[in-house]
Structure 1
């Protein structure tokens, strides 16, 4: 290809009739100044500029600002290489600001002695848009497939498609990790092959409801896993038999075994807790410190006589004996404020509903959050009035016994001391052997009695 303008391109006055009447936009421009030298009617109609406006413009005026560098590069090629024919795709700017995609075909041309290029424009905006939409559709399809795989094949839910006899048609790969059963194994079986017999009727009833409702939710049922254990499954059924992409009933299932076991254990724990509250011979209190809500066991009513049917969260504090109330409330405040303390203990007087005064023993276990703030306490309040009275009586009896023992021991020791002294004097005298033996027995007995009295005195002390 010669860089020089060919002899054919140097003709000064070509027949421009085809150029003028072409249904496709076309123009001639100066390759040095980029000035439009001539345009056909199709160009004025398609771009919205009049012929006069076109002839006052350059190629730069119909290019988006961000594409001007592309234009300059293309022109540098045209000026340097001077190709006879060019076919490129660019973006053009209409008068109304619309940007269109165009494919141009051009030839170098001498117009009235000026090195020019004649351009034929084909608007391919629709084609480009269709290509973009097709590409976007492909990307969305790929994303959709990826999402489907992530949600269905690798998700935590088990997705299965069954026919109206509940024979498996499709099972997601997630069933392997959840139930330890491969999808291929399911495909040769029926739903009822795995469902516990006691739960099958519930599933039959649910499937029958699909005739009226296209989507239902089943209560949890038990399914046998690959390890021979029963798993609790919650499922949502949707009849998509009319959808050619599905062609069956969709089982969207989730393993809820852990949740159900926790709920059962919690229910059992609550029942035990209620039994403890009811059976205890002391008032048990559960205090939600954050929300200041108090729950009393029935023992509070039985011991202190208060009606618990009408809730009152100051029932306890209002009935502490007035002389003890300030002290006890201050103890509780200090207990709450000290993040290191967990156990509360106190004894104080408490007023029954009939205003009888009781002495009570109060123990509390305080629970705290990770910042040390008290959030809950479980307390027991026991009536120790009778126990304290018994203890007081015992202490009083002990004091009386001490006094009696002390008095008796001291009253006995005086004559005993005299007996010991006399026996020692008699033993020193010469006497009949038989009488001397009797005095010896008397002295020994007196010494034994003295030891016993000293032991009694020591114990009373």
Structure 2
């Protein structure tokens, strides 16, 4: 018995020890699994957050059906489709018809090579129909148990257009240099001798008989902003046979400011030592003036793009002239050709004119004000009244003075009418709701109580004719109330 008892105790102790170890082991497995699942969940959340909040348009599409599986906010905003619209679309829907064969070819190649990665240029189509050029990068991903392809798109349309414009400009400049009369100069570095052609003297408006060609004298002919660029040891910056090209401002002998384009070439001897500088000079003043005009025009369009463009007003305060957009004719019926400069002021509703002009003048005098926003009534050409929202942008000079006001007028008449109609409908519906919840309930409760009382009397074996009269009166009241509700619900303001 002692042996059995000792053996039992020993076995019990061994089992308890092993059970404890096994329990600890399984607990570690459970802890590791929970940790792994938590890490996976956090990683998935971080991935989704990164996907949704990426500033670049991104989407995932099914590699088999080619339908969108998910798109981020940037893609919706850039392409103009809502998330719901994307979810019902095929990737062909954002591509021009001419690009679809190329798309299928790339997809077939990806299937054959089992490689969905791609980096290249493609054309896409926005919801508005605008065709854009994008740089795409793709990779294969698993999304909710489905094999998908993750796409990142970068719109490079503007960049390509800019490059094309620069290439076109460079081409025009090159052609101009070839066909235009240009000045030519040389600087003999060995003998310190400078030579100008007659065209350069004409460009600088200098007399070759009296102007001494020294580096100091030439430097003084450059505008003070550009004199620092004038380097006597310019030949030291040359690499190989490269050209140095620059645009500079000069002050002519008569005091005029001109722009020149200069190209410089370094001549070397057989030992690769610099011996001479030679260059050409071209008058590009008109080109610079044209570029400035383009810049000003672009600034105008950028400013107009910030406003809601309906009826545009461009008010030049310095010259006291106003440009009226076509919206004044299409929206308000006024002829804008040779329009009176007071057209806008004169047709603000009499009851609103003083307030609007006072607010405008106050904003003009405040140098911190950049925008103007007002709502008022405006009289159309046919005499009708339009409710207007007027947004404007102030252009100020260095002193903070307003020199131009560019704005747009939006007709809110139809929207306000709809809002008023909706408010009236809501009021009527509230009246009906109150009637249903309060007035109808009283006779209905009476009917239910009287009927229950009538049933109880019947079970007890006697009748009370007064209950029937009460039921009739309650039913009549309820019928009257229902008729009133029907009248309210059928009014014209609910249509």
TM-score, length of structure 1 as denominator length: 0.38
Q: Whose radius of gyration is greater, 1 or 2?
A: 1
* TM-score of the aligned structures, taking structure 2 as reference length: 0.36
